């Protein structure tokens, strides 16, 4: 397996950075992550645009144009020959002589195999707990997951699968997923602030707008608890139903028809975008 680091192709096992990198010193860097389907990168332009925006907000100079990055990614895919995979582009704060100031970023692009089920499993759903928290600089896909990783034990102790961030009774996101509410009036609600603008989220909103009233607005925790359906979205999950929040089951745990419909539409879109 090949990894790309700062212009060099190296064996994945040998891909390392010096300890003076600002990611290791100060947790400072951004990344993006997307899948390949059928050897094709999925929604790559969306992901590269978001990477550029994340880097810009953190004042990291991307060492390549997005076109050049795309060519590197296509070469990575060609070298590694993984049909179904995850590709991660990490851009760090670089080697800081003073251990604190932004320097010339290091860029690392890795690819790893991924297993995806391409069918909606209506029996699959997740249990959430809530935590009072908003990610720092939430529109930036930074590498700061201190709270997400830290909270894993609390999630486990509660017998749950993941954590939903809440602030002043409004929900925002999960550490690695966006979250949506389907109301009994067939409205689709999702938070507009304090969230990362997920690429899967973006496409779901577009797909849903043809048959649901879509509202990007503050979403109250009560909206979640009273919902007809709740689901989360991410690159690796596509859409996944939420069974319960803090032990309160959503709609008595019934399978979500809207979630299933959107999953099918998303899968179709994904396939259309990655035809040979």
Interface residues toward its own copies, by CB under 8 A: 3, 5, 13, 15-19, 21-29, 58-59, 88, 90, 92-93, 99-102, 108, 110, 136-137, 142-150, 152-153, 176
For residues 1 and 65, give the distance between their C-alpha atoms in angstroms, rounded to a whole number: 24
Counting Cβ atoms within 10 Å, is residue 255 exposed (0-12), middle (13-18) or buried (19+)? middle
Helix H or strand E encompassing 52:
helix 44-57
How far, in Å, are 212, 218, 219 from residue 215 at the CA level?
9, 9, 9
CB of 24 to its own copies, least distance (A): 5
Q: Based on CB atoms, which residue is closest to its own copies, 23 or 37? A: 23
CB of 205 to its own copies, least distance (A): 26
Q: Based on CB atoms, which residue is closest to its own copies, 90 or 241? A: 90
CB of 135 to its own copies, least distance (A): 9
Q: Based on CB atoms, which residue is closest to its own copies, 135 or 201? A: 135
257 phi, psi to nearest 5 deg: -70, -40
Contact, 200 vs 222, CB < 8 A?
no
For residues 265 and 31, give the distance between their C-alpha atoms in angstroms, rounded to a whole number: 27
Q: Based on CB atoms, which residue is closest to its own copies, 72 or 267? A: 72
Q: Based on CB atoms, which residue is closest to its own copies, 22 or 126? A: 22
CB of 147 to its own copies, least distance (A): 6
CB of 126 to its own copies, least distance (A): 15
């Amino acid at each position: 397996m090949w990894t790309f680091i700062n212009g060099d192709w190296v064996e994945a096992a040998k891909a390392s950075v010096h300890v003076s990198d600002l990611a290791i010193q100060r947790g400072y860097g951004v990344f993006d992550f997307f899948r390949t389907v059928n050897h094709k990168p999925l929604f790559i332009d969306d992901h590269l645009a978001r990477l550029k925006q994340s880097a810009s907000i953190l004042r990291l100079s991307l060492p390549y144009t997005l076109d050049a990055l795309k060519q590197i990614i296509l070469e990575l895919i060609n070298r590694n020959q993984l049909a179904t995979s995850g590709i991660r582009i990490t851009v760090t704060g670089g080697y800081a002589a003073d251990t604190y100031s932004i320097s010339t970023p290091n860029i690392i692009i890795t690819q790893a195999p991924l297993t995806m089920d391409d069918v909606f499993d209506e029996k699959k759903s997740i249990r959430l707990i809530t935590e009072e928290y908003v990610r720092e600089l939430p529109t930036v896909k930074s590498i700061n997951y201190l709270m997400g990783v830290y909270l894993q034990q609390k999630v486990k102790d509660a017998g749950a699968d993941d954590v939903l961030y809440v602030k002043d009774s409004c929900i925002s996101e999960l550490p690695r997923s966006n979250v949506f509410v389907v109301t009994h009036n067939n409205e689709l609600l999702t938070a507009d602030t304090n969230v990362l603008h997920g690429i899967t989220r973006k496409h779901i909103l577009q797909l849903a707008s043809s048959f649901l009233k879509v509202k990007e607005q503050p979403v109250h925790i009560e909206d979640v608890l009273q919902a007809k359906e709740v689901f989360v979205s991410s690159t690796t999950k596509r859409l996944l139903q939420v069974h319960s929040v803090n032990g309160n089951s959503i709609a008595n745990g019934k399978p979500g028809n809207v979630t299933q419909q959107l999953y099918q539409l998303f899968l179709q879109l994904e396939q259309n975008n990655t035809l040979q």
